[in-house]
Amino acid sequence: MNIASVLENQKIEKRIAITPEIAKKYISLGIDVSICENYASHLGIKDEEYKELGVSILKDEKLILSNADIIVQLGLLSDDKNSILKGNQTFIGILNPYENKDKIDTLVKKNINIFSLEQLPRITRAQSMDILSSQANLAGYKAVVESFANFEKAIPMMMTAAGTIPAAKVLVVGAGVAGLQAIATAKRMGAIVFATDVRMASKEQVESLGGKFLTVEGSENLETEGGYAKEASEDFKKKQEDLLSDTLKKIDIVICTALIPGKKAPVIIKENMINNMNAGSIIYDLAAIQGGNTAFTKVNEIVDKNGVKIMGESNILNKLPTSASNLYAKNLYNFVSNLYDKENKKININLEDEIIEKTLIK
């Protein structure tokens, strides 16, 4: 049994799927590991570190892919590499099946086992494999750091002989994993933090981190059975808009994290709200790649709207690729371990296992 990984397109993805630590774990399971030359050199990890563990390193990526039983990546391969894949191989990654349906269907028709890990069920047994949580956690932290770096005032309250500098006020829109980490990070750095979410279960979590939860009057709990947010009613959206419009007048930094799986991100921060914000304020939109939570978000651009800077990147984790890779590789290993029949040394696609059944694209 051979597991393999090749470089992603470095222009859009710097994370890797197999770290030396995880390569060692695969080998201890009796699985051979193959990677391409300079697989992790951009992260400061030399090929020699892998070689010392017994990892095969080859120049020819096509040869690596054609000989692999299991292929682990961040996203889908390019079309020329996809054409190499053949029946009974297993491909695992974050594949965005809603947007990549045609490409994935082509692979499924070739009898390739496709697993998309963003479809993992939110059950206790799957927590160690939960790539959305591990990556969102880092994204929430980094969004705060990036916002604070662009904010031209001090963050914590400072009392000096020359006078007092007030603490910055931060609003986090969406209190999922990314939002909760954003709250915790902003609080640690001395900000006053507010948060809002359509899921009422978030209130206790926000308050446990020292944030103030903004409750929409007469709100209902808009949470799916899987723990994700679902789309709000028009009445809720109007009440939320009124609440945010008033709140944003006194907010310095906004961290937007609101996403609905498989859909365009909801536009929560409207033009009139931004017009009411103070010049010098920052909005960091983690939903930028799915359309954004503001009316003016542009991917990989800083938009200046009446002195308010609106930021959003296609992949903020490219700014934390080493930490993100470490967590992602561990998530993958835990998933593969559940999929791998150690006794018979083969992949066991047991559809009675909810983890396998939910992530397999049929």
Active site residues: 122, 127, 130, 133, 228
| DSSP tag of 250 | G
Distances 230 to 93, 112, 199, 233, 258 between C-alpha atoms, Å: 24, 32, 9, 10, 10
Matching residue, tokens 């939320």 = 240
Helical H runs in the chain? 20-28, 47-51, 61-67, 79-82, 101-109, 131-150, 177-188, 202-208, 234-247, 271-275, 321-339, 354-359
Report yes or no: 293 and 307 within 8 Å, Cβ to Cβ. Answer: no
Using a CB cutoff of 8 Å and minimum separation of 24, what contacts does 348-355 make? 349/113, 354/121, 354/123, 355/120, 355/121, 355/123, 355/125, 355/126, 355/129
Q: Quote the DSSP letter at residue 198.
A: S
Nearest to 44 by CA among 6, 12, 73, 14: 14
DSSP for 30-75, written as a single string: T-EEEEETTSSGGGT--HHHHHTTT-EEES-HHHHHHH-SEEE-SS
Q: With H, G, I as helix, E, B as strand and everything else as coil, classify residue 102.
A: helix
